[in-house]
């Protein structure tokens, strides 16, 4: 269990969707292109496993109330035909707790990872939970939202569609510069 200091150093939970406006996606770019963490079964998984398909990298914690409110809607979106891959990353929690949390809420994601070293905080600039990063089919991060997202909003659907049709770089290309 995270102590108060550990949780504060990790990230701050955003206000819940029921008490605040949904987070807006803002343009986002980083040289980071991959991460590898164990899934909730202990099997190493890489973000690059989804190359060729848009990805929602969603960072959450089981103790985060806005995450608990948002995850069921994101899971429903992920279950739709032609949906992007959703890579759900739980921060600083044991896999058994994450599995129990997902099972209790009947949430199913294609990939559920455990980042117990908080590498996503450090490498992807995550400072608020939940955080969602939209990655195009070529693996380039394009958009970031800090806080709960309205996954049913037309603007969000448009961004997800845009990821499918307009990758920033072609698959296999190397991006240089910022």
SS (H, E, C) 32-50: CCCCEEEECCCCEEEHHHH
Task: Indicate the pLDDT class of residue 40, thresholds 50, 70 and 90.
Answer: very high
Residue 33 is predicted with a pLDDT of 76
| Contact by Cβ (8 Å): 5, 120 | no
The answer to the question of residue 21 being in a domain is yes
The answer to the question of residue 50 being in a domain is yes
pLDDT above 60: residue 74: yes
Residue 165 is predicted with a pLDDT of 77
Query: What CA–CA distance (Å, rounded) separates 152 from 155?
Result: 9
Q: Which helix (H) or strand (E) holds 89?
A: strand 85-91
How confident is the model over 96-136, as pLDDT tens digits? 999 999 999 999 998 999 998 898 888 889 999 999 999 99
Can you read off the two tokens belonging to residue 59? 């960072």
pTM: 0.84
Q: Say which CATH number the domain at 54 has.
A: 3.40.30.10
pLDDT above 70: residue 169: no
Q: Check residues 20 and 140 and name the one with the higher pLDDT.
A: 140
| Contact by Cβ (8 Å): 168, 137 | no
Residue 121 is predicted with a pLDDT of 85
pLDDT above 70: residue 4: no
Query: What CA–CA distance (Å, rounded) separates 25 from 159?
Result: 9
Residue 132 is predicted with a pLDDT of 97
pLDDT above 80: residue 11: no
The answer to the question of residue 174 being in a domain is no
Q: Count up the domains in the chain and report the number.
A: 1
The answer to the question of residue 105 being in a domain is yes
Residues 54-58 have a mean pLDDT of: 96
Whole domain around residue 86: which residue ranges? 16-165
pLDDT above 80: residue 20: no
Coil, strand, or helix at residue 166? coil
Query: What CA–CA distance (Å, rounded) separates 141 from 175?
Result: 11
Strand partners, 88: 58, 112
The answer to the question of residue 9 being in a domain is no
The answer to the question of residue 86 being in a domain is yes
The answer to the question of residue 42 being in a domain is yes
| Contact by Cβ (8 Å): 112, 88 | yes
pLDDT above 70: residue 22: yes
The answer to the question of residue 25 being in a domain is yes
């Amino acid at each position: 269990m995270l102590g108060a200091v550990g949780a504060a150093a990790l990230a701050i939970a955003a206000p819940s969707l029921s008490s605040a406006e949904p987070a807006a996606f803002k343009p986002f770019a980083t040289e980071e292109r991959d991460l590898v963490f164990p899934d909730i079964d202990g099997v190493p998984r890489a973000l690059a496993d989804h190359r060729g398909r848009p990805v929602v990298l969603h960072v959450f914690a089981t103790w985060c109330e806005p995450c608990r409110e948002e995850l069921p809607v994101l899971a429903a979106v992920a279950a739709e035909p032609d949906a992007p891959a959703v890579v759900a990353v739980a921060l600083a929690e044991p896999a058994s707790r994450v599995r129990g949390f997902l099972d209790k809420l009947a949430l199913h994601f294609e990939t559920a990872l455990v980042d117990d070293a908080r590498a996503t905080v450090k490498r992807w600039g995550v400072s608020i939970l939940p955080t969602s990063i939209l990655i195009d089919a070529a693996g380039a991060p394009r958009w970031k939202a800090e806080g709960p997202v309205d996954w049913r909003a037309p603007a969000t659907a448009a961004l997800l569609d845009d990821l499918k049709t307009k990758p920033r770089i072609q698959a296999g290309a190397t991006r240089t510069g910022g």
